[in-house]
Structure 1
């Protein structure tokens, strides 16, 4: 049976119901309603801020970037200066790579909100998608996603909402002081490469990539809920989760059996399972992997075209491996793309965020 309700009566009834919810119904329900309103308001504010900030990064628009921050407080100044450095780095990397960024878009998931003075302190997750094309291959659009975890304070001023403080795990932090290097030859080499055929990739490598894509956290998609695999402890707050994730990819996806040295059980992971340096050493010393190349970017970037999905890259700073990422694909010019945790990455060019001259790379072939 269908019931037709007069539109005016429906609106009046809805308003009365809303008033009653704040006057008569239990306090918890009123609190929930308030929370919903706060979430919606904050989400709209954040979406607008990130839309403008992405536009500023994409177009190198300093005026837009400047207007997003309250620079009368030191934390606002620091947040602005950090984004300015990131803007410069992103475009330096693009120039080295021979690419143009076409769009930067974000999805936001709010975790918690706290009211402060004339504004909010918001804890939230951001999944940012970057699209790019090679300058000599404009028809093929590539994309990658980076997931970040933010705590951001905003207040409302006459000109609108502005950022007074921000903390997040920045994937470009190791390259914000990018050395000036001569990369004309590098760009020419990259632009001369061709797309590679991965149709003959074996099943274990494919399954490893599927796992890496599904559990890449904040860099993932809505369907997977921006989550890690709950079977495993999250080590981000205990020094980093990158090796733990790489171990999961090889075990859960790639069907590598646990060993006495490389192991995870109800008490957690062994050193070779969760520590980046120990993971790299174990894989090489056990014969489960072998070295493709080692050295700074200028020494290894050509060899990186030998990487296949399921292989991994280890990043060394001051003589110690501090990060692991797993190769999950190749872009339209055959450039290796990686997934990892802390910060979360989905199909990101393997050197993006790791461009300082002091960083050395271990390019590792995994023997599936």
Structure 2
């Protein structure tokens, strides 16, 4: 019954989108002279481009929310309906989402939580008709997850993940389906929880409580800065943007250390120096490189190592992390990512905020649970 209700909701959105598109075409035809008046042509084109983007925003939000319902319900067949699995790229996209569905199921079991809702916001950057009934879309996607602990069902925890997508959609059997989708997935480096003793970990996590923490003014400034400039994961009022006063190093290999450095510097607690520095659109290795950043913080005395190791060996010590501290993620013997702690959930579990795949208040190990990953828990001296 629930599946039927969801299908009706999705179909209704498709019908509304098609009607809006037809209305746009008719409007252009009726007013075609106005579109080519010399004084108004540019304004009219821009207005219509924005209108088309708004319509595709409605389409994709409906499509992604339908996919979210499939993930929540662990419904493989419902998920499969959204993809053209007769095409290799469509099949790969489906298989990846199915893998994510299984990962979320495993992680929530380990954590002792239930996901209650997943909602998506989309910002369209570009739409192009590639061929008849086939459209290429570039968009920013902000996905909000709500979860509650098994023994705290009345308390809702919320985190947000921002991703940048390129996808192709086409009309098939009077509905839009995905034929290709690419994005940097925050869960790509995990997906192996089978070897973790989940029951012991879950029991420990469910027994924890939030501790009272007194934050310094610098820590508060650091948290506010992180939450405002975490890109596609931030509140929509901030435009899903990074701080334009700093270069975005994602095209050069990643922006996580750059953002972690910004958070520390913008707190007002830490000054730049010859080793840890950013100026004129460039940063030193200690500022922009994840391994260099972690080594500098520890060796400079601005922070120190709490614990290092695989998840099941150090998850208890993670409760010593406080807002302003950070987590380093090691793969193949090197730190490849860093995230800053900016909050705690209703069981005191540390939550991180970062760039690369943009995160806002995400459980610190979510998406990094593979047994080959080692964690470096770093206390920062605020």
Report the TM range for the smaller structure's normalisation: over 0.9
- Identify the residue that residue 193 of structure 1 maps to in structure 2: 208
1:231 aligns with 2:235: no
Instruction: Give 1:27 shift.
Output: 4.1
Instruction: Give 1:186 shift.
Output: 0.4
Question: How far apart in 1 are the matches of 2:54 and 2:301?
Answer: 53
1:102 aligns with 2:116: yes
Question: How far apart in 2 are the matches of 1:137 and 1:21?
Answer: 60
Alignment check: 8 A CA contact 2:54 2:124 kept: no
Question: How far apart in 2 are the matches of 1:33 and 1:293?
Answer: 55
What SS does the corresponding residue of 2:135 show, helix, strand or coil? Answer: strand
Select 2:61's aligned residue among 30, 47, 67. Answer: 47
1:15–1:68 distance in 2 versus 1, CA, 3 Å: closer
Question: How far apart in 2 are the matches of 1:160 and 1:213?
Answer: 37
Question: How far apart in 2 are the matches of 1:139 and 1:40?
Answer: 36
Alignment check: 8 A CA contact 1:174 1:354 kept: yes
Select 2:72's aligned residue among 58, 62, 69. Answer: 58
Instruction: Give 1:201 shift.
Output: 1.3
What SS does the corresponding residue of 2:189 show, helix, strand or coil? Answer: helix
Question: How far apart in 1 are the matches of 2:238 and 2:45?
Answer: 29
- Identify the residue that residue 151 of structure 1 maps to in structure 2: 166
Instruction: Give 1:115 shift.
Output: 1.1
Q: Name the TM-score, length of structure 1 as normaliser.
A: 0.93
- Identify the residue that residue 258 of structure 2 maps to in structure 1: 244
1:300–1:36 distance in 2 versus 1, CA, 3 Å: same
- Identify the residue that residue 21 of structure 1 maps to in structure 2: 34
Q: Trace 1:76-225 onto structure 2 (pairs within 5 A).
A: 76-117=90-131, 118-198=133-213, 200-225=214-239
Select 1:304's aligned residue among 300, 315, 318. Answer: 318
Q: Trace 1:277-292 onto structure 2 (pairs within 5 A).
A: 277-292=291-306
- Identify the residue that residue 332 of structure 2 maps to in structure 1: 318
- Identify the residue that residue 344 of structure 1 maps to in structure 2: 358
CA offset digits 1:317-339 (Å, max 9, x no partner): 01100000000000000000000
Question: How far apart in 2 are the matches of 1:355 and 1:214?
Answer: 27
Instruction: Give 1:196 shift.
Output: 1.9
Aligned length: 354
Question: How far apart in 2 are the matches of 1:351 and 1:176?
Answer: 12
Question: How far apart in 2 are the matches of 1:196 and 1:249?
Answer: 23
What SS does the corresponding residue of 1:173 show, helix, strand or coil? Answer: coil
Question: How far apart in 1 are the matches of 2:337 and 2:199?
Answer: 28
1:170–1:192 distance in 2 versus 1, CA, 3 Å: same
- Identify the residue that residue 10 of structure 2 maps to in structure 1: none
